[in-house]
Homo-oligomer: A and B are copies of this chain.
Amino acid sequence: MSKIINNRELEYSTSEIFPTRWSPRSMSGGEITGEELMSLFEAARWAPSAYNNQPWRFIYAKKNTVHWDILFNLLADGNKVWVKNAAALIVVVSKTTFDHNNKPSITHSLDTGSAWENLALQGSIIGLVVHGMQGFDYEKAKIQLNISNEYQVEAMAAIGKPGKKENLPKELQEKEFPSDRKKISEIAFEGSFK
């Protein structure tokens, strides 16, 4: 009955795209094409949002451009160690208000998470590494990237070509496998919260 996909044990059938996606750190240092990067934003674009407000914004920098250092230097040292082999960095931002009436949106972060997951899934589908991060300086990002107060910095992500696990520092090699998850009984409850 149980099904193993990507070394992960499923409780129920689901599309293999979900357990197949994971967050490696090993990247080759190889570049990605503009088309590959745009295909990630194309995926993100079709996510759902309250009033179709599409609050997601992405600030990106490709390696070997003048923009790379600014985004790279936002990162915590622990992330720089492996992100140096990425091909692109993204800062994920959300607009906290509705376009149609300028009132606050309740779901701007949730909606932006939907778009971010589309982006991550598309990366996985085309064989790229996409790894989200919260280990960076949120305040510095806001200032250095010209993000106004109507927007909220949500996360960063590194994108690249898959590399060899052996090239990671030893302590990161030990974490380089698809992580497990809570059981469905721990996240889904019938009728009321338990």
Which residues of A line the B interface, CB within 8 A? 8, 10-15, 17-19, 21-23, 35, 38-48, 50, 52, 54, 56-62, 65-67, 70, 92-94, 106-107, 109-118, 120-122, 125, 132, 134, 138, 144-148, 151, 154-155, 179, 181-182, 184, 187-194
Contact = CB atoms under 8 A, between A and B. Distances in A.
Nearest to A15: B125
B193 A57 contact: yes
A138 B18 contact: no
Given A18-B47, A48-B117, 18 more contacts: A19-B46, A21-B48, A45-B181, A50-B132, A57-B188, A59-B189, A60-B191, A66-B191, A67-B191, A106-B138, A107-B132, A110-B110, A110-B112, A110-B113, A110-B116, A113-B113, A145-B192, A148-B193
A57 B182 CA distance: 11
Given A12-B38, A58-B187, A52 B114 contact: no
Contact of A107 (B11, B118, B148, B155): B155
Nearest to A45: B181
Given A19-B46, A184-B38, A155 B110 contact: yes
B187 A54 contact: yes
Contacts of A188: 38, 41, 57-60
